[in-house]
Structure 1
């Protein structure tokens, strides 16, 4: 399945697995919803009229002042939500990711960490959380600011902005698996993501676009995590399919290559 479909598959999977996922996402979704309502209210009540007034003072046309201000407010609200999301993700992302893997019947993927000392697991989690929270989230916010002018071009501009932000978005969704479960170093995870950049960009572009949708982005931020887990699960199932096992036992080359099976080759402790 093409990687760009997994954000949508994550949405569907979440909606159809209430027992496994809804209770686990209730807390973070509720907290994000409360903050999102606050950020939207603050943006509309304070930022929007202030920006319109400032542009009118600069003698911008009335319609353009409102158009640019509305686009700016949407992006500013998304940035505020990302900042809040950065604080929540370290606590809830791993839990939702793992719950999705278990719901797919692949809980044994998580068993690889059973024999690893707790201190090592804590250090892995700290590295991935810091990288997600303070580096990649900041990169995404920077890209929102840099690509903001593109949003003024309907459809094409937004699509290009999502494409530019796609790779870091996808990489951030895989760090828990890369670093905490597989035990990869940051550099190893980066090199693999760079090697498979088109798969990552494909997934991340749609995921990032969903996170820009006002109000609904508070929901898509979490379903994108589900989609990332499903992507890894799908690649694992393809890698360990009966046909491939038959090909390996018979000495025939498999049609699936390492380049198309992200994160499943190499098992560093």
Structure 2
């Protein structure tokens, strides 16, 4: 098989896989949890405290990154995409730059100051939803604190998640050339990135569950459609400039609410087996 035919075959295979995964994602309903996360986060002001401590540096970072990315990369990418996307190239280029900017902002901010804050919110939502036993596997819990779940969180017992952010960046860069394939390439790009983003938001959940790398991979594969649905909703929301700092927290809340649902499903299955 010639090189062009191999490329066409690979693209066709990826497109079919993306379509299949997208159908599973639609059926899972997990794409609603990022939306629920927004509502829950706004409903409970106590969960917003970590955000306000981090909002100013992240907004400043977002402005600098977005302006710089549009100034440096928008026109070159639009020019290249014109050859493959035609009149919609400028729209696709704008979405691509926003996606790139969002990824950079989240990677930098999570690396430097957001990781601890989002983990704190994730654990707080679990405690709020009566999943204290799960949280206690990775953090000390204080019995006092009233109705504020953040006040019940003690010292974290398990360390952060390692090089996941670096791997996400590498995957993102590797997938960027897909955008040069007319229309379908951009769709595949977003779906495949969503496939990585979804599990990343459950990194803390996997940690609390004590999953090994193999168990984690098996769990993600089993729930692949759900993770793509969740991740795709996150990716699309992150295209909104500046406020993606808020979405970093609301996505975390949504991921925690989804984890609560998964725990309840697991518990109900356990009761049936007994």
Shared fold, TM over 0.5: yes
- Structure 1 residues 171 and 76 mapped into 2: Cα distance closer, same or farther (>3 Å)? closer
Structure 1 alignment gaps of length 5 or more: 116-120, 252-269
Contact 2:118 2:248 in 1 (8 A): no
TM-score where L is the length of structure 1 = 0.70
Tell me how far apart the structure 1 counterparts of residues 198 and 256 of structure 2 sit (CA, whole Å). Answer: 11
Contact 1:162 1:206 in 2 (8 A): no
The residue aligned with 1:81 is: 105
Contact 1:140 1:169 in 2 (8 A): no
Tell me how far apart the structure 2 counterparts of residues 132 and 187 of structure 1 sit (CA, whole Å). Answer: 16
After TM superposition, the structure 1 = structure 2 runs for residues 7-26 of structure 1, keeping only pairs within 5 Å, are: 7-19=34-46, 21-26=47-52
The residue aligned with 1:168 is: 196
Contact 1:162 1:205 in 2 (8 A): yes
Matched, 1:95 2:126: no
Count of residues in Structure 1 that have an aligned counterpart in Structure 2: 229
Structure 2 alignment gaps of length 5 or more: 1-27, 141-155
- Structure 1 residues 27 and 102 mapped into 2: Cα distance closer, same or farther (>3 Å)? same
After TM superposition, the structure 1 = structure 2 runs for residues 167-246 of structure 1, keeping only pairs within 5 Å, are: 167-179=195-207, 181-240=208-267, 245=271
Contact 1:86 1:137 in 2 (8 A): no
Tell me how far apart the structure 2 counterparts of residues 8 and 59 of structure 1 sit (CA, whole Å). Answer: 36
Note the aligned Cα RMSD (angstroms).
3.4
Tell me how far apart the structure 1 counterparts of residues 126 and 67 of structure 2 sit (CA, whole Å). Answer: 36
Contact 1:174 1:228 in 2 (8 A): yes
The residue aligned with 1:264 is: none
Contact 1:132 1:172 in 2 (8 A): yes
TM-score where L is the length of structure 2 = 0.69
The residue aligned with 2:167 is: 135
